[in-house]
Amino acid sequence: MKAFAFCIIYLCCVLHSNGKDVHNTSRVASQYPDRIAKSQQGKPSFHFRPPHNWMNDPNGPVYYKGFYHLFYQYNPYGSVFNRTIVWGHSVSSDLTSWIHLNNALVPTEPFDINGCWSGSITILPGNKPVILYTGVDTNNQQVQNLATPRNVSDPFLKEWVKYSGNPLTTPPKGVNPDNFRDPSTAWKGKDGSWRMVIGGLRNNQGVAILYRSKDFIHWILHDDPLHFGVETGVWECPDFYPVSVNSTSGLDNSAYEENQKYVVKASFLSHDYYVIGNYDSNNEKFVPEGKGLTGSSSNLRYDYGKFYASKTFFDVAKNRRILWGWITESDSATDDIKKGWAGIQSIPRQVYLSNNGRQLVQWPVEETEKLRGNHVTYSNKKLKRKSLFEVRGITASQVDIQISFNMPKMEDVEVLEPTWDDPQTLCNTKLARVSGRAGPFGLLVMASQDLTEQTAVFFQVFKESNKFVVLMCSDQSRSSLRQGVDKTIYGAFIHMDYEDKMISLRSLVDHSVVESFGADGRACITARVYPQFHERIEAHIYVFNNGSRDIVINTLDAWSVKTGRGAVTD
C-alpha cells in the first residue's frame, strides 16, 4: 500500500509541479536498464544526488507531514562550483526513493543576490517550518535570512517566501564579512526564548556564535560564543543537539531531560569534528568533556574520510536523529564537466551516544536494508595467514557487506608504539600489503580480478595497557590506474576492551563510493574510487588476511543492492 500511495503522490507531483527535475529514481531505472548500464558506469546508484550538476552541503533536513525533505547547495548551471548557489530540494517517504522538486531558494533580493548559502530548518510551535539561511548580499557580506512556506498545508513545501525584513543578523564586531555563515537548527531554552549558533572566525578562533530571540525575528548577540576552537580556521556548518545517555533514540533540539549530554560539531580543515559535553543553559555555556575542538588527530570525527558540511535532524516519525554528509568527488573538475554532475550525499545515518558515553555511534538507517537483493552468507570460516577468497553470488559494484572477525589473543598482537598517535599516518605506513601479526585483515572492494586495482578496507590489531587498539584503514593507494585522481589513505583508531570477542566491518559499495563502518559504527570512513577496469568489466570483492596469524570469520553476509532507489539515473 505504501508503494502504491507513493506512486500516486509521485504522479500528482509531476502533474502539478512546475519543475523540470521531478523524478522517481526506481521508475527511471526499471524502464531503461540497458541504457543506464552503459551511461552510468561509476555513478553511484543508491546514494542521493540530483539529476544533474553540482551539489554540496545538505541543508535543512526535516520530516514534515509524512515526507522527509532534503535541501542542498546546488549549482543549477553546471557541474562545477560557482557562487550563484541555490537551495535544491527533494522529498521522500522512505529515505530511499526521491522526488526532485523546484529549487526552494534562489538569489533574487539584495540580501541574497550573490547566493543562497547553507542553513537549517526549525519547526516552530503549530508544526510550522522556518528556514534560516546565509545570504551573500550586494556588498558581498554574509548575512542571515529567514523564509517560510507559502502554504503550510502542502506536504511537499514546494514554495518558500523570504521574510521582507531580511537580513535578521549581519556580521558582528570582530567577524569579517565573509566569515559569518551557516545558521544551525534553533532550540528553545527553559526561559521560552530561542537560540541558534552561526559559524565564524573571531580573533583568529573558530567560533559557534550564539544568538537569542523571543520571536524568531529579532535576534540578540550573546557576549560569548557557545564554543570555540584554536588553530582551526573558520567554523562552518555548526550543529548543536542533545543525545540520550541511556537510549539510542533521538531527542528534539529543545529537549531537556535528566540523562542527556550535548554534541557540538563544526566543519573545518576539510573534516567534521565533534565534541561531547554538557550544556549550562542558565549561563549559555557548553562545557566539553576533554579539551574541546582543536583539529588535532585526537579529536573525534563523524567520518575519517571524505565527509563534510554535515547536518543532523530529529526524525519525529521514528524518534531518532539522522545525519547526512556531503561526499566530494576525487577526480578533476574537467572530469566533472564530462560527467555532467558532481557531489553526492552519504547514506543517511542514525546517530546516538555509545554505551560508554565517550563518543557517537553511526549506522545506516534501517530503510537502507530494503534495498538488499541477492544474499550470500558464511560462518565460522578460517582465513589462513596471507590468504584471501572471493565473495561470489552478489553484484560487487553495488553491495552491502557485513563481516565479523573473532578478536585475536592478546599475546598474538603487537604493542602500539607511543609515537603511533596519528591513525592516518600509521595507515600510510601499514598498508594492506604490509604484513603484521594480527592483520591487516578485511575487504578488497571494487577490485579487478587480477587485483591490479583494489580498495582495501581493513583492521590491524594492537595492544596498549592491556586493551586492544584497532587501526581501521581505507587504503586507496591501488584503487585506480588512472592518473589525476585523489588516492588519499584514511585511518581511525577504535579502542576496545580486552573482553571484546569480535570486531565487525560493514561496507556499502556503490560504484565510486565506499562507506565503511567499523566496530558497529564506532568509526566511519568514506572514500571515492575510480578504478579504470570498471569502465569495461565487472568488479570483484574479496576477504583477505595478510597477517602472520590465522583469522576466524565469525559471520559474513553480503547483499546485492538494488539499482536506482537513492539517486537519479539520467
Confidence of residue 14 (pLDDT cuts 50, 70, 90): very low
Mean pLDDT computed over 337-341: 94
pLDDT of residue 12: 41
C-alpha angle with apex 116: 152 to 155, nearest 5 degrees? 20
Mean pLDDT, the chain, rounded, equals 91
Residue 534, pLDDT score? 84
Q: Is pLDDT above 70 for 153?
A: yes
Residue 57 annotated among the catalytic residues of the structure: yes
The topology (CATH level 3) of 374-561 is Jelly Rolls (2.60.120)
Q: Are 414 and 512 in contact (CB under 8 A)?
A: no
Question: Residue 291 has what pLDDT?
Answer: 85
* Residue-wise pLDDT tens digits, 479-538: 999 999 999 999 999 999 888 999 999 999 999 999 999 999 999 999 999 999 987 788
Mean pLDDT across 286-298 = 88
Query: Residue 54: pLDDT band by 50, 70, 90 thresholds?
Result: very high
46-364: what CATH class?
A: mainly beta
pLDDT at 276 over 90: yes
Of 21, 34, 57, 450, which residue is the catalytic one? 57
| Domain ranges within the chain, ordered by starting residue | 46-364, 374-561
Q: Using CB atoms within 10 Å of the CB of residue 39, give its burial: 0 to 12 exposed, 13 to 18 middle, 19+ buried.
A: exposed
C-alpha cell at 436: 603484521
- DSSP per-residue letters across 189-239: -TTS-EEEEEEEEETTEEEEEEEEESSSSS-EE-SS-SEEEES--S-EEEE
pLDDT tier at 422, thresholds 50, 70, 90: very high
Contact by Cβ (8 Å): 113, 150: no
Cell of 394: 552478489
Q: What whole-number distance in Å separates Cα of residue 238 and Cα of residue 200? A: 9
Overall average pLDDT of the 248-260 stretch: 96
